[in-house]
Amino acid sequence: MAFYEHTFVGKQDLSTKELDSLVKKYSDIITKSGKLLKTEKWGLLNLATKIKKNRKGIFVHFKFESKDDSVKNIEKKLSIENNIIRYLTVKYDKLDLKKEYFAETR
């Protein structure tokens, strides 16, 4: 099994219920074939360029451990999801679970 970081960008007009259902749907897919280590909701962020007529997107980030075939399954389902505008999966040898990319600093 390998470690993965997976981020997807949802449309900016998603309601909290819709976003929560997306997060639950894909976290359930991950837990069926692997182990979900961490989920981060980064919130609504500006995009560098317009993607499918959207200037902003809601970012969700997963850190998990799984087999390669489950990653292909997740990406296949994300590619046909209407509320998702982009996604990215990165494979790692080791994961840093303490680092949060968009944590609030006060």
The pTM of this model reads 0.84
Paired tokens of 35: 């182990």
The domains found in the chain, sorted by start residue, are 2-54+63-92 (3.30.70.60)
Tokens of residue 89, six digits: 């999966």
Q: What is the mean pLDDT of residues 58-84?
A: 88
Residue whose pair of structure tokens reads 């969700």 in the numeric block: 60
User: Rounded to 5 degrees, what are φ and ψ at 60?
Assistant: -130, 135
Percent of the chain exceeding pLDDT 70 equals: 92
Query: How remote is the C-alpha of 73 from its chain's centroid?
Result: 14
CA separation for the pair 59, 80 (Å, rounded)? 18
- For a pLDDT cut of 90, what percent of the chain falls above it? 40
What average pLDDT does the segment 54-60 reach?
Answer: 93
Note the pLDDT tens digit of each residue in 23-39. 999 899 888 888 998 89
